[in-house]
Each structure stands twice: as structure tokens, then as C-alpha cells.
């Protein structure tokens, strides 16, 4: 068992699960989407990105790319939320909430790609 | 470049993870710890404000307690997060700087810079392996002549010496082991503009490896190698290395030439000289018995050559068991008066100090001069840095290994016709050479002659080629006319014409040119520029041929005067 591989897989899968947990629920209902969950998803996604740095293989490069996409989507979602809470005249409206959740849903897709590739790579390794 | 970024990111793994972790915990803490609003009611910071507070405390800017004065619990958390974030930042920045200062990382950056420079080479260039005395002299000659060079050397000090050198064009220097094929590929071996590989490192085996790599990867590329042992030379020749340079053989050959045909020696030296060199004075070595000190590789090559010329030789050698000198040799170093007397220095006409220690060579010369001031003195100079003392010793001839190799290689590279010319000239008499030497010195005036080759085809000489296609008769003499005044001549000499496999030496002025001829000229640099004008501009050519075309309607601009020579 390789500790590094465990940590790597852990963060990739955790990024997906947290992200999914945030997205699930009615898209425009603020009660269904917890801000802490978005925060956790963002932090874990950033950590997963850094873990992928420096892998020169083709797979490593694609994993890094999907991870960067997820980061970008989540940061955009967080920025929209921050803007809605603090500067938007109407506050957090259902339509803004929908925008935030759909951005985060995009990140889910990127994270799913990462996990699928990780699983695919694992399956090709024979013992 | 991608390598550099990957390595940088990999080195920064831990600091980046630490930064993200510390920020995440600090921000989370601020959102969870209740504060007190101005009205006295409790409030919770949102993520935006928490991130704001952490950002300005982590970077030690410290705007104060925003948006409301902190509660004691918040202050406690702020204290902790200040220490944690500042330490994380210092660690991250420290790692970044350490990575940039890492010698391996810097070497990688330098390597990338060279690789980019080589990739963007727009003109043909030579790959010079080894930047010692020979390599540096050669690179200078190549760049002075207008060619480009890429240098590979294993010693970082030499590569930085190249960077400090004031060359006419930028010569990228790669600090790597040329034995590894990857190094040569990075230095542009497979680049379409690579015109040849020159292996002049200090080690024969390294040169051999470079030659075989080059011949396998680019079979049609010209490869010039230095080989001090004949074994390795034969090995190189076996797989088609184009030119193998053995400095000992070449110098022995030159000295023998100087002894039996001084005029030929002079012509040889002149046409193979590098740009900016002063012309060598004619030498007149005496005939009689010579003393050769040192019977190593150099002494052996010299002995062989001089024996062919029927010159009697006395060898002085300190280690007869190891070198097997011919019978009748004197045992000793030659630095002491008694060994020289034993070799009858009083009756000898010349002495060659050919050991591999410069101090011994000079000592031999000084001692011999005291015993017989009329001696013709030749010394072998092993290290370029001893230039000043060898110059002060006032010798008739100094054999400097690095410059001999550099001259020879430069002559080979400059034009394949020049090599043909030298071979053909070797079959001529000394009187012929004396006459040629007189003609060359008349046109070049105390500077190294410029040697250039012209091929009469549509690309290199469009105007002349068109005239020949139109059935005009153009003689060599027409090319020698000055474009400013056709009654005057440019100062230059045609050394060789290559016409359908025939190669007449020194063609006369009434030689009729035909398309496809290759010509080798010798003269001043300016003459080559004016001639280039004639070859490329039909109005100029018409004026030279018939004296008619009005001047000033030239479609090609007059070449700008250059400071090259």
C-alpha cells in the first residue's frame, strides 16, 4: 500500500463527494445549499490540484487540467455568493442561488472526470 | 521550458499545501467564532469577510479589527492565525527562493535557454564540442568569418568564459557531457541548419563517441574530429568521419614543408590563416643536421617526416625505455648543457624542443642558444596561456597545438575547394609557390587574405548566370574589373576553378567562364564584396563587360562598406 496514492485518491474522491453534496437539492432554494459545504469543496479541490502538480505523465496532465476547471468553477460560485450577500441590492435571490449551484454543478462534472480517470488508471494496473 | 515549470511545482508541493491548509483553517475559524456587532447583538462573519481578515493579517498588513471590533474569542483566534499564516508564507517564499538558487535548477534553466536559442537558429551553424584553447580559437574564427557556432562543454567555467567572450554573433553554450547523444541533440545535431560537427575535446575517446553519434544520427553531416592517437584516428576513419585532425602529424608535416619548400609553407599558412591575423613572415630554415628533444607522439611524427625529407636527426629523449627512440639517440632531457653537447649542438643547424612540458621546452631553447646562437629554433607550446613567454623567447617557429588544429579545421570548413587547392598545390614546385606568395602579398597587404568561393549558378550569381545563358563570353579578367572604374582591377587572385571535375590551378585572366563553374578566390575582404555585386547585378556586369550601362540605375544597392576587414 502506497501512502501517497491513498492521500491522492482520498482528496480526489473527497472533492467530488463534497461538491456533489453541495449541489444536490432544489437548485434555487438557499436552504438546500450550505455555504460551509461549498467552502469545504473549494478547499479540498485546491488541495487536490496541488497534489497533481509535477506529474509529467499524460494522465497527470489531464488530471491537473480537470482539477483546474473544478477550481475555476467553484471559485466563480464562491465569488457570486460573496457578491450576492454583500453588495447585491436584492441579497441572495433564488436566481442568484441557481447561478451558484449551476456553477458548482459544472465543477461536479470536472470532478467526475477526474475520478473516472483515476479508476480507469487503477484498473489497468495488474498485479 | 515545461520541465522547469514541472520541477518548480513539484518542489513547491509541501509549501503550497501548507498555505492552503492554514488559510482554510483560519478562514473557517473566523466564520464560526461569534463576534459582537456595534448594537451589542452577536454576529457571525461571512466567508468573504473572514477571507479578507485572514488575507491582510497573513501578509502582515493589518488593517485592524473589521468590520466590528473583535470579541476576545476572535482575538484569540486571530493571534493564532497570524503566527500560522505568516510562518506558512515565509516557508513558501523561502522554498521558492531556495529552488531558484539550486544549482541543478539553474543549470536546467540555462539548458532551456540554449535549447530555445538553438531551435531558433535561422542560419547554418557548426556544433563545436569542447571549448578549450582549440575550441575558443575556432569559435572566434567562425564567428569572425560570419558563421554561427553552438558550443558544448562539460566544464561550467569554460561555458561562462564563452558568455564573457565578445563574439560577433551570439554562440549559445551548453554545459553538458558531449558523450551523451541527448546532449548533442539538444545542441542542435538534428537541426536542419546544422552544417557540421567539430569534436575538439581533450579526450580522444570523447571525440570518437561524438563522431559516431553524429555519423549515425546524421550520416550526411560533415564531421571533423581531433585525434591525438593514430589508433583512434583509424577508428574514426572506419565509419566515415570526414576529417581527422592529428595535431602532431600536421605540425610535423608543416615543419617538413617549411624545411624543404619555404614558399609552399608560406602559401599554406596564408590561405589557412584566420581573419584579422597578421601575415606570417617568410621562413628560411637551414639545411643540415637537426636536434629533436622529446620522442613522444610529436617527436615520432616529426622524425618520420624529416626522415622522408632525408634530413639527419639526433634525438634527445629522457625516457628511452618507454618511447624506443632510434639508435644513436642521446639520453637526457635536453635542458642541461651536457646532453646538448653530447648531441653535438655546436654543429647542428636547428633544434626542435618538443616535450610536453612548456618550461622544459623553453629551458632547452635557452640553453641551446647559449651553446650555439646560430641555431634555428622551433618549440612546441602546450598551453595557450604561456603565449607571452613564448613570444618573448624570440623563436623562429612556435608549434602551438590548439592554433594549428583551429587553423586546419577552419580552412576545411571555409570551403571544400580550399582543401582541393591545398592538395593540388602540394604537387607544385617551390618556385611556383614563391611566385604565388609574391602575388598574394601584393594584393592583401600584410593582412590575412580573405578566401572565398563562388559558384556560378542562378542562385549565387544570378546576373552572371543569365549573361552566360544569353551566350555572352565572360572571362575571369572581366570579374576582376572594379565596378567603379572598369579600367581598374579589384585586388584578388583566382586560386582554383572547378570545371566538370577538372580543376585547373591559378587560371589566367582569359579563362572563359561557363555556368556551373566553382571558383576559389583570394584577396581582400572588400574585393569579395565588389565581386559579389558584379555577380548579382546585371547593370554592373554589363558595364564591366562592355563599358556601357549608365551607372546609377543599379537595381541592387551598392554594398555597404563593412568593418569586417
The complex scores an ipTM of: 0.88
pLDDT of residue B563: 43
Final residue of a structural domain among B407, B435, B468:
B407
List B226's β-bridge partners, or say none. B245
| Domain extent for B55 | 2-101
pLDDT of residue B345: 85
Are B240 and B289 members of one domain? no
Closest chain B residue by Cα to residue A81:
B48
Are B485 and B528 members of one domain? yes
Q: Which candidate, B93, B92, B94, B97, places its Cα nearest to that of B21? A: B92
Q: Which candidate, B397, B287, B302, B304, places its Cα nearest to that of B349? A: B287
B164 domain residue, yes or no: yes
Closest chain B residue by Cα to residue A84:
B48
> Angle B262-271/B247-260 helices, nearest 10 degrees?
130
Least Cα separation, residue A49 to chain B (angstroms):
10
The average confidence (pLDDT) of chain A is 90
Are A85 and B46 within 8 A, CB to CB?
A: yes
Q: Which residue in the set A47, A85, A86 is minimally distant from B20, CB to CB?
A: A47
Find chain B residues with C-beta within 8 A of A46's C-beta.
20
Mutate to test the interface with B, among A53, A63, A84 (most CBs of B within 10 A): A53
Are B30 and B65 members of one domain? yes
Are B232 and B306 members of one domain? no
Are A78 and B47 within 8 A, CB to CB?
A: yes
B314 membership: H or E segment, kind and range: strand B313-317
Q: Interface of chain B against chain A, CB under 8 Å?
A: 6-7, 9-10, 12-13, 16-17, 20-21, 24, 27-28, 31, 46-48
Are B89 and B129 members of one domain? no
Are B299 and B371 members of one domain? yes
How many folded domains does chain B comprise? Answer: 4
pLDDT of residue B558: 52
B474 in Cβ contact with B467 (< 8 Å): yes
Q: Which residue in the set B7, B20, B47 is minimally distant from A35, CB to CB?
A: B47
Task: Output the domain CATH number for residue B214.
Answer: 3.40.50.720
Are B16 and B86 members of one domain? yes
Are A47 and B21 within 8 A, CB to CB?
A: yes
A77 in Cβ contact with A13 (< 8 Å): no
Report how far residue B49's alpha carbon sits from residue A41's, in angstroms, rounded to the nearest whole number: 19
Are B12 and A43 within 8 A, CB to CB?
A: no
Report how far residue B274's alpha carbon sits from residue B269's, in angstroms, rounded to the nearest whole number: 10
Tell me the pLDDT tens digit for each residue of A66-124: 999 999 999 999 999 999 988 888 888 999 999 999 999 999 999 999 999 989 888 88
B224 domain residue, yes or no: yes
| Sign (positive or negative) of CA dihedral B78, B79, B81, B87 | positive
Are B457 and B395 members of one domain? no
Find chain B residues with C-beta within 8 A of A51's C-beta.
13, 17
B195 domain residue, yes or no: yes
Final residue of a structural domain among B67, B101, B135:
B101
Please give the C-alpha separations between residue B79 and each of B32, B53, B62, B399, in angstroms, as whole numbers.
Answer: 16, 12, 12, 77
Report how far residue B17's alpha carbon sits from residue A54's, in angstroms, rounded to the nearest whole number: 14
B116 domain residue, yes or no: no
Are B85 and B22 members of one domain? yes
Task: Output the domain CATH number for residue B532.
Answer: 3.30.70.1450
Strand bridging mode B492-498 / B518-523: antiparallel
pLDDT of residue B554: 47
DSSP one-letter string for B437-498: HHHHHHHH-SBPPEEEEEE-STTT-HHHHHHHHTT---BHHHHTEETTEEEEE-SEEEEEEE
Are B91 and B130 members of one domain? no
Distance spanning both ends of chain B, measured CA to CA? 40
pLDDT of residue B452: 85
DSSP SS3 for B241: coil
Report how far residue B471's alpha carbon sits from residue B464's, in angstroms, rounded to the nearest whole number: 11
Are B48 and A86 within 8 A, CB to CB?
A: yes
pLDDT of residue B77: 93
C-alpha cell at B203: 579526450
Are B287 and B402 members of one domain? yes
B35 domain residue, yes or no: yes
Least Cα separation, residue A82 to chain B (angstroms):
6
Query: Please, what's the largest Cα pairwise distance for chain B?
Result: 119
Find chain A residues with C-beta within 8 A of B47's C-beta.
35, 39, 78, 81-82
Report how far residue B343's alpha carbon sits from residue B262's, in angstroms, rounded to the nearest whole number: 26
* Contact residues for B303 (Cβ-Cβ < 8 A; gap 6+): B292, B295, B313, B315, B326
Are B97 and B127 members of one domain? no
Are B46 and A86 within 8 A, CB to CB?
A: yes
Tell me the pLDDT tens digit for each residue of A12-52: 999 999 999 999 999 989 899 999 999 999 999 999 999 88
Report how far residue A71's alpha carbon sits from residue A73's, in angstroms, rounded to the nearest whole number: 5
Q: Which DSSP category does A31 fall into? A: G
B467 domain residue, yes or no: yes
B429 domain residue, yes or no: no
B87 domain residue, yes or no: yes
Find chain B residues with C-beta within 8 A of A86's C-beta.
46, 48
Residues of chain A with pLDDT > 90, as a percent, come to: 64
Mean pLDDT by 10 residues, chain B (565 residues): 74 91 94 88 89 90 84 91 93 92 86 88 90 89 88 90 87 89 90 91 91 91 89 88 86 80 83 76 80 85 80 84 80 83 86 87 89 87 86 84 84 81 83 85 79 85 86 84 82 84 79 85 85 85 75 49 45
Peptide bond into A42 cis (omega under 30): no
Amino acid at each position: 500500500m502506497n501512502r501517497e496514492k491513498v492521500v491522492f485518491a482520498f482528496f480526489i474522491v473527497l472533492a467530488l463527494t463534497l461538491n456533489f453534496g453541495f449541489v444536490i437539492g432544489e437548485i434555487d432554494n438557499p436552504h438546500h445549499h450550505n455555504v460551509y459545504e461549498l467552502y469545504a469543496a473549494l478547499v479540498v479541490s485546491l488541495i487536490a490540484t496541488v497534489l497533481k502538480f509535477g506529474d509529467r505523465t499524460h494522465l497527470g496532465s489531464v488530471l491537473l487540467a480537470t482539477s483546474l476547471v473544478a477550481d475555476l468553477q467553484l471559485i466563480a460560485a464562491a465569488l457570486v455568493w460573496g457578491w450576492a450577500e454583500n453588495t447585491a441590492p436584492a441579497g441572495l435571490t433564488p436566481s442568484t442561488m441557481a447561478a451558484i449551484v449551476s456553477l458548482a454543478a459544472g465543477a461536479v462534472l470536472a470532478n467526475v472526470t477526474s475520478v473516472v480517470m483515476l479508476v480507469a488508471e487503477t484498473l489497468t494496473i495488474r498485479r | 521550458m515545461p520541465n522547469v515549470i514541472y520541477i518548480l511545482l513539484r518542489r513547491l508541493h509541501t509549501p503550497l499545501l501548507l498555505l492552503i491548509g492554514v488559510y482554510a483553517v483560519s478562514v473557517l475559524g473566523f466564520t464560526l467564532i461569534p463576534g459582537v456587532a456595534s448594537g451589542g447583538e452577536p454576529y457571525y462573519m461571512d466567508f468573504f469577510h473572514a477571507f479578507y481578515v485572514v488575507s491582510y493579517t497573513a501578509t502582515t498588513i493589518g488593517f485592524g479589527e473589521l468590520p466590528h471590533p473583535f470579541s476576545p474569542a476572535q482575538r484569540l483566534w486571530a493571534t493564532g492565525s497570524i503566527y500560522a499564516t505568516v510562518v506558512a508564507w515565509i516557508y513558501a517564499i523561502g522554498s521558492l527562493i531556495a529552488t531558484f538558487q539550486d544549482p541543478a535548477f539553474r543549470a536546467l534553466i540555462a539548458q532551456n535557454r540554449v535549447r530555445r536559442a538553438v531551435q531558433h537558429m535561422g542560419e547554418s551553424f557548426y556544433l563545436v564540442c569542447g571549448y578549450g584553447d582549440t575550441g575558443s580559437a575556432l569559435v572566434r574564427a567562425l564567428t569572425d568569418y560570419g558563421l554561427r557556432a553552438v558550443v558544448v562543454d562539460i566544464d561550467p567555467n569554460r561555458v561562462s568564459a564563452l558568455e564573457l567572450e565578445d563574439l560577433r554573433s551570439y554562440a549559445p553554450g551548453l554545459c553538458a557531457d558531449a558523450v551523451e547523444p541527448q546532449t548533442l541533440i539538444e545542441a542542435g545535431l538534428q537541426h536542419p541548419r546544422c552544417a557540421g560537427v567539430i569534436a575538439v575535446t581533450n579526450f580522444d575517446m570523447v571525440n570518437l563517441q561524438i563522431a559516431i553519434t553524429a555519423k549515425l544520427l546524421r550520416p550526411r553531416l560533415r564531421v571533423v574530429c581531433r585525434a591525438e592517437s593514430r589508433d583512434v584516428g583509424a577508428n574514426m576513419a572506419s565509419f566515415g568521419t570526414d576529417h581527422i585532425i592529428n595535431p602532431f602529424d600536421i605540425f610535423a608535416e608543416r615543419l617538413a614543408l617549411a624545411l624543404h619548400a619555404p614558399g609552399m609553407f608560406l602559401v599554406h599558412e596564408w590561405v589557412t590563416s584566420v581573419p584579422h591575423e597578421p601575415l606570417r613572415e617568410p621562413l628560411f630554415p637551414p639545411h643540415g643536421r637537426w636536434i629533436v628533444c622529446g620522442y613522444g607522439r610529436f617527436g615520432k611524427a616529426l622524425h618520420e617526416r624529416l626522415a622522408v625529407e632525408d634530413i639527419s636527426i639526433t634525438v634527445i629523449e629522457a625516457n628511452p625505455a618507454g618511447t624506443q627512440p632510434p639508435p644513436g639517440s642521446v639520453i637526457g632531457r635536453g635542458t642541461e648543457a651536457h646532453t646538448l653537447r653530447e648531441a653535438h649542438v655546436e654543429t647542428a643547424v636547428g633544434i626542435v624542443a618538443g616535450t610536453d612540458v612548456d618550461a622544459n621546452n623553453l629551458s632547452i631553447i635557452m640553453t641551446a642558444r647559449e651553446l650555439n646562437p646560430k641555431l634555428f629554433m622551433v618549440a612546441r607550446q602546450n598551453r595557450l596561456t604561456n603565449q607571452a613567454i613564448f613570444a618573448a623567447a624570440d623563436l623562429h617557429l612556435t608549434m602551438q597545438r590548439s592554433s594549428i588544429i583551429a587553423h586546419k579545421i577552419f580552412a576545411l570548413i571555409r570551403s571544400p575547394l580550399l582543401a582541393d587547392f591545398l592538395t593540388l598545390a602540394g604537387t607544385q614546385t617551390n618556385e611556383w609557390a614563391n611566385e604565388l606568395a609574391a602575388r598574394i602579398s601584393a594584393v592583401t597587404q600584410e593582412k590575412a587574405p580573405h578566401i572565398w568561393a563562388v559558384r556560378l549558378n542562378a542562385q549565387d550569381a544570378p546576373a552572371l548566370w543569365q549573361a552566360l545563358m544569353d551566350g555572352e563570353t565572360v572571362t575571369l579578367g572581366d570579374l576582376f574589373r572594379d565596378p567603379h572604374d572598369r579600367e581598374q582591377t579589384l585586388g584578388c587572385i583566382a586560386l582554383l576553378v572547378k570545371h566538370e571535375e577538372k580543376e585547373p590551378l591559378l587560371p589566367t585572366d582569359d579563362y572563359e567562364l561557363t555556368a556551373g563553374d566553382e571558383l576559389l578566390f583570394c584577396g581582400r575582404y572588400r574585393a569579395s564584396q565588389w565581386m559579389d555585386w558584379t555577380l548579382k547585378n546585371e547593370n554592373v556586369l554589363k558595364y564591366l563587360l562592355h563599358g556601357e550601362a549608365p551607372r546609377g540605375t543599379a537595381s541592387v544597392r551598392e554594398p555597404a562598406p563593412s568593418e569586417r576587414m
